[in-house]
């Protein structure tokens, strides 16, 4: 059962939090006075026993320095607890809060619906961190999977595949998935997720973000599905300001912090894409069901094979699959010299979802494309991979 602790000097915001929790969330809200900021973390927990809280909220009107001091202590001693600071989003305050271990900064003027959404994300993050901590105690903690979504040809639905994979993985590991748009000139991840990001890849590879993972996280955009996004720069010219070395370091940082890093690359085999490939544990190769895209993918795979840049785990996705195109799966496989692992049928529902900026897997629309996208996502579930190695490359049927 979710439990929320609110430290606040007043009752107005407390009532909004209580209404947010009462509107469909499980658990209770316990309010503590501002005077507890001078207490030690273990003393506060004694007041909350026998059950440790999942979310600790520092309400509006608290002294920021005192709130962040206690946040730092909680982040060190009880890192699984999600910390939320209610404060105006001033850049310097946000930066200090992130360094203190605060996961989210919430506006004092937020309405009940926004508060509920934030609390849901915080609970998901708590559950994810608790699972990660258990894995670490079992000696299983390691860097996350870096999943590159690639195609030498444009127009094959690569970004649609990438956003759906990220959202699908977000259901497996809430708040432990980040999607990175490495189509640095004309990336569409922000459009595909209906986001208006304040920061981009350029911010994440510059300044102190390269040295401090907490600062890096401040440049990520939270998506309603419970994933993070790092979008392409708005100005295509900014792509020239990002080096391959910066891309390498960025992906290494993210892999150390997240269970899954989904990388949507640009069409072709640019220097940025090649740098990303070197960090990928898995590659999703996307092709349409037409001769130019199939031949283009074969050429790209041959080139990368000679460069020794093919990740160990590959997943070939046949997008826009249609038995009436004049090509068969066997034709595609014969040209590629590799089996097709997943076919995504041509789908009106998928097109509508893409145009709305709401990935198909976000709303669980009943459609054949939904089923096959889930099958693709399942290939990155660690438990499934451990049991299903023999099924990694089975022939698909359209």
pLDDT, one tens digit per residue, over 272-298 is 989 999 999 999 999 988 889 899 999
Q: What is the pLDDT of residue 80?
A: 81
Same domain, 81 and 150: no
Task: Give the pLDDT band of residue 105 (cuts 50, 70, 90).
Answer: confident
Residue 90 lies in a domain: yes
Same domain, 130 and 248: no
Same domain, 32 and 79: yes
In Å, how far from its chain's centre is CA 103? 15
Give the pLDDT confidence of 249-263 residue by residue, as tens digits: 999 999 988 999 999
Mean pLDDT, the chain, as a whole number?
Answer: 84
Mean pLDDT calculated for residue range 99-123: 85
Give the pLDDT confidence of 62-88 residue by residue, as tens digits: 999 888 888 888 887 778 888 999 998
Same domain, 332 and 361: yes
- Give the 3-state secondary structure of residue 7: strand
Domain count, the chain: 2
Same domain, 65 and 132: yes
Same domain, 65 and 32: yes
Q: What is the pLDDT of residue 131?
A: 55
Same domain, 69 and 209: no
Long-range residue pairs from 91-100, CB within 8 A, at least 24 positions apart, any chain? 93/64, 94/218, 95/215, 95/218, 96/64, 96/68, 97/68, 97/71, 98/214, 98/215, 98/217, 98/218, 99/212, 99/214, 99/215, 100/68, 100/69, 100/71, 100/72, 100/75
Of the two residues 146 and 72, the one the predictor is more confident about is 146
- Residue with tokens 């903690």, as numbered in its chain: 141
Residue 398 lies in a domain: no
Residue 17 lies in a domain: yes
Task: Give the pLDDT band of residue 395 (cuts 50, 70, 90).
Answer: very low
Mean pLDDT calculated for residue range 343-362: 90
Same domain, 151 and 172: yes
Residue 337 has pLDDT above 80, yes or no: yes
Domain boundary among 90, 110, 137: 137
Of the two residues 308 and 188, the one the predictor is more confident about is 188
Residue 394 has pLDDT above 70, yes or no: no
**Do residues 362 and 223 make contact, with C-beta atoms less than 8 angstroms apart?**
no
Domain boundary among 137, 168, 202: 137
Identify the CATH number of the domain in which residue 13 sits.
3.40.50.2300
Residue 227 lies in a domain: yes
Give the pLDDT confidence of 174-197 residue by residue, as tens digits: 878 999 999 999 999 999 999 999
Structural domain containing residue 37: 3-137
Q: What is the pLDDT of residue 41?
A: 66
Task: Give the pLDDT band of residue 139 (cuts 50, 70, 90).
Answer: very low
Q: What is the pLDDT of residue 135?
A: 47
Same domain, 175 and 250: yes
Residue 397 has pLDDT above 50, yes or no: no
Task: Give the pLDDT band of residue 145 (cuts 50, 70, 90).
Answer: very high
Same domain, 76 and 217: no
Q: What is the pLDDT of residue 181?
A: 95
Q: What is the pLDDT of residue 104?
A: 82
Same domain, 297 and 358: yes
Give the pLDDT confidence of 373-383 residue by residue, as tens digits: 999 999 998 77
Same domain, 126 and 224: no
Identify the CATH number of the domain in which residue 372 sits.
3.40.50.300
Residue 396 lies in a domain: no
């Amino acid at each position: 059962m979710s439990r929320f602790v609110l430290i606040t000097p007043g009752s107005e915001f407390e009532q909004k939090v209580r209404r947010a929790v009462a509107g469909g969330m499980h658990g209770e809200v316990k309010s503590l006075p501002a005077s507890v900021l001078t207490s030690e973390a273990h003393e506060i927990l004694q007041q909350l026993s026998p059950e440790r809280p999942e979310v600790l909220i520092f309400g509006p009107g608290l002294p920021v320095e005192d709130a962040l001091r206690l946040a730092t202590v909680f982040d060190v001693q009880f890192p699984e607890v999600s910390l939320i600071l209610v404060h105006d989003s001033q850049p310097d305050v946000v930066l200090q809060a992130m360094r203190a271990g605060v996961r989210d900064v919430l506006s004092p003027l937020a309405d009940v619906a926004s508060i509920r959404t934030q609390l849901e994300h915080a609970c998901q993050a708590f559950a994810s961190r608790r699972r990660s901590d258990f894995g670490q105690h079992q000696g299983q903690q390691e860097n996350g999977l870096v999943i590159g979504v690639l195609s030498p040809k444009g127009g094959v639905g690569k970004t649609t595949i990438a956003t759906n994979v990220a959202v699908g993985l977000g259901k497996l590991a809430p708040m432990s998935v980040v999607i990175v748009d490495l189509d640095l000139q004309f990336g569409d991840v922000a459009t595909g997720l209906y986001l208006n990001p304040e920061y981009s890849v350029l911010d994440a590879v510059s300044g102190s973000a390269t040295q401090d993972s907490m600062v890096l996280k401040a440049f990520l955009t939270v998506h309603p599905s419970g994933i993070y996004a790092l979008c392409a720069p708005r100005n295509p010219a900014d792509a020239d300001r990002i080096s391959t070395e910066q891309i390498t370091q960025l992906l290494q940082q993210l892999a150390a912090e997240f269970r899954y890093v989904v990388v949507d690359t640009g069409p072709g085999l640019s220097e940025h894409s090649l740098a990303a490939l070197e960090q990928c544990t898995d590659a999703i190769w996307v092709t349409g069901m037409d001769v130019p895209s199939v031949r283009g993918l074969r050429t790209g795979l041959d080139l990368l094979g000679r460069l020794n840049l093919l990740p160990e785990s590959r997943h070939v996705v046949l997008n826009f699959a249609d038995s009436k195109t004049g090509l068969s799966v066997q034709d595609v496989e014969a040209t590629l010299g590799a089996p097709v692992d997943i076919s995504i049928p041509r789908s009106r529902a998928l097109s509508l979802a893409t145009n709305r900026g709401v990935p198909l897997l976000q709303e669980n629309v009943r459609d054949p494309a939904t089923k096959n996208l889930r099958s693709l996502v399942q290939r990155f579930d660690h438990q499934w991979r451990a049991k299903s190695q023999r099924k990694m490359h089975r022939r698909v049927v359209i």
